[in-house]
Amino acid sequence: MQLVTEDNITDLAVQRWATARDPRTAEVLTALVRHLHDFAREVRLTEAEWMAAIQWLTRTGQISNEKREEFILTSDVLGLSMLVVQMNHRLDPAATPATVLGPFHIEGSPELDFGADMSEGLPGTPLYLQGTVRDLEGNPVAGAVLDVWQADTDGAYESQIPDIDEARLRAKYTTREDGSYCVRTVAPLGYSIPMDGPVGDLISQTEISHFRPAHVHFLINVRGYAPLITHLFQEGADYLDSDVVFGTKQELVVAFEPREPGTTPDGGKSAGPWSEAHYDFVLQRQA
């Protein structure tokens, strides 16, 4: 019988997890064991700290639900989400960069027509996001579905507002034959990530900014092309250089140009000032 010691515990644990029937599972779990043990040794982890970590993970699971993914938020603020994105989306330099999904995406957003208003009369400066979806050769991509979502002008998603139980500031738009799209919404606001949970507790113990710059999320899907998860950020917005989830990329920063009352991109009329932004998404074909 081999007795377990501080010196051999890692090798014994790795040997056991190496018996996983799936080779990739064995590779991932044995590496995880080695790195966890190395981490514990490096920081000389105490029992009290170990228990605090277990309790933190428990609270993270308890606060998560179908509208709030605290574990995704954890991954985001640690920079792990963007690292995984970068490693798994080594796109052509001409393609639109990918960013994090974030913790507030939900399925089942309503389908809207070209230029239809996903803000449904919410207060704020009307904003039209327009452009095309095309491939690397410049060809228009028709039938691409743009799943769009954002925070309101108070910097909140509906899942953070107790009295709201339906989709808000979310919609799906489909590109026309010429690849064009037009999203009607309200100008977003930079906002704080949720600070009322386990992630907020950790952030509050540091000098890390807990804010994100003003942005609109996009998830673009179309047959034959790699799905694209990305953002559009407002040029000149606060926190572009300190995005708490490391999601900002220069290629995704666009100007929200102010416009006087008058004809809007959807052919309608605006009685007050409005803004527009133009961006052409470039998709890479599915490998």
For the chain, which domains are there?
9-74 (no CATH), 92-283 (2.60.130.10)
User: At which residue do the structure tokens 């673009």 appear?
Assistant: 220
What is the predicted pLDDT for the residue at 149? Answer: 96
Check residue 108 and give left, alpha or beta (phi > 0: left; psi -120 to 50: alpha): left
What is the predicted pLDDT for the residue at 1? Answer: 65
What is the predicted pLDDT for the residue at 274? Answer: 94
Which is it for the CA torsion 183, 187, 188, 190, positive or negative?
positive
Residues 101 and 76 sit within 8 Å (Cβ to Cβ): no
What is the predicted pLDDT for the residue at 153? Answer: 83
What is the predicted pLDDT for the residue at 161? Answer: 78
Residues 151 and 169 sit within 8 Å (Cβ to Cβ): yes
d(CA 102, CA 193): 10
What is the predicted pLDDT for the residue at 204? Answer: 97
In order along its 287 residues, the chain shows pLDDT tens digits of: 678 999 999 999 999 999 999 999 999 999 999 999 999 999 999 999 999 999 999 999 999 988 789 999 999 999 999 999 999 998 899 999 999 998 888 889 999 999 999 998 788 999 999 999 999 999 999 999 999 999 988 888 877 777 776 778 999 999 999 999 999 999 998 999 999 999 999 999 999 999 999 999 999 999 999 999 999 999 999 999 999 999 999 999 999 999 999 998 888 888 899 999 999 999 999 97
